[in-house]
Amino acid sequence: MSQVVRTRPEGSGQALSEAYDTALLDLDGVVYAGGNAIAHAVESLATARAGGLHLAYVTNNALRTPDAVAGHLTELGIPTDADDVITSAQAVARLISDQVPAGARVLVIGGEGLRVALRERGLEPVESAEDEPVAVVQGYGGPELPWGRFAEASYAIAGGLPWYASNTDLTIPSARGIAPGNGAAVEVVRIATGAEPQVAGKPLPPMHRETILRTGAKRPLVVGDRLDTDIEGAFNGEVDSLLVLTGVTDGAQLLAAPPHHRPTYVDTDLRGLLTGQPEVVEAGDGFRCGGWTATAGPERLELDGEGGALDGLRALCAAAWTAAGDGTCALEATKALDRLGL
């Protein structure tokens, strides 16, 4: 399981869509970016679903409601019900409802997704610190969120109200590149108040709890593009994970991953759900995957052979993670990654 210190990506003789009962899929950077479907996502998910894999969409983005997310996925060609979408807004709303009286007012700094989630748990969203809220909740509000909303949160928190955040992702993928995420907005309020929020989203336990409660998954596979949310969340929940390289994580970051950021499997995109995963085996002083052999030298990672870039990356992961043990690998890998075009 994920709590073991992983020293190499695992292999699987079965297609991952057959080895697991539920795929817990991140959205931004995995299924779509900037509203557009990522290459191979639509057809891969359709094939996986047809084979019996339950698809659930788990997002730290608290802006949109599950209905809106499901509608967007359906428009992209991925038929989805609102019940198949789990958001950090839902997770933080449950966290708040466990700690405040039923029907309590909560100051919302964010979008409609937060308001709907609070109402679902019997809480009343309000817009001002003067509306007598008992708590403050902050979630991603999109690029048009007014700066004055952060001031409103600061006034309430400085007055002693507890502060909750849907998630603390510093960045979010967009069609034009990487943009500031809710974590960047949380930092603004933290600087103004000196306070610390209770956080619900990935990689923390409230999000995993919300996901399991809503999906009933028995053998889930977390699928994501971020080491510090998706993969760490799988580690914390002691479930397996698949990292896809369609979002924010690059090869260098993967090689330097500490134990709690090391995925079970690595693949290029969601086509990885439909296949088995090759084994990475010891080969002399290094590790072999496909036609590549990777070794850890005194100062850098070395790569020999030829073949698919992904096999080379898997071999490099084994060399880097083994050299690092339970720490972070600091060996130079630029030349090896350049050979793979990564």
Q: Which residues are tagged catalytic?
A: 26, 28
Side chain identity at residue 303, one-letter code: L
**Among 258, 231, 260, which residue's Cα sits nearest to residue 243?**
231
The single-letter DSSP state of residue 13 is S
Residue 75 C-beta-side C-alpha neighbours within 13 Å: 9
* Spatial CB neighbours of 269, under 8 Å, sequence gap ≥ 6: 38, 39, 40, 41, 44, 244, 245, 246
Side chain identity at residue 190, one-letter code: R
CA distance 85 to 71: 11
CA distance 268 to 55: 19
**Following DSSP, what letter does each residue of 213-247 receive, concatenated?**
HHH--SSEEEEES-IIIIIHHHHHHT-EEEEETTS
**Coil/strand/helix, residue 330:** coil
Residue 43 C-beta-side C-alpha neighbours within 13 Å: 4
Structure tokens at 63: 């802006």
Cβ neighbour number for residue 21 with a 10 Å cutoff: 16
Residue 210 near residue 117, CB atoms below 8 Å: no
Within the chain, how many helices (H) and strands (E) appear?
Answer: 12, 19
Structure tokens at 191: 């600087």
The DSSP H or E segment spanning 304 is strand 301-305
* Spatial CB neighbours of 264, under 8 Å, sequence gap ≥ 6: 2, 6, 9, 10, 234, 240, 241, 242
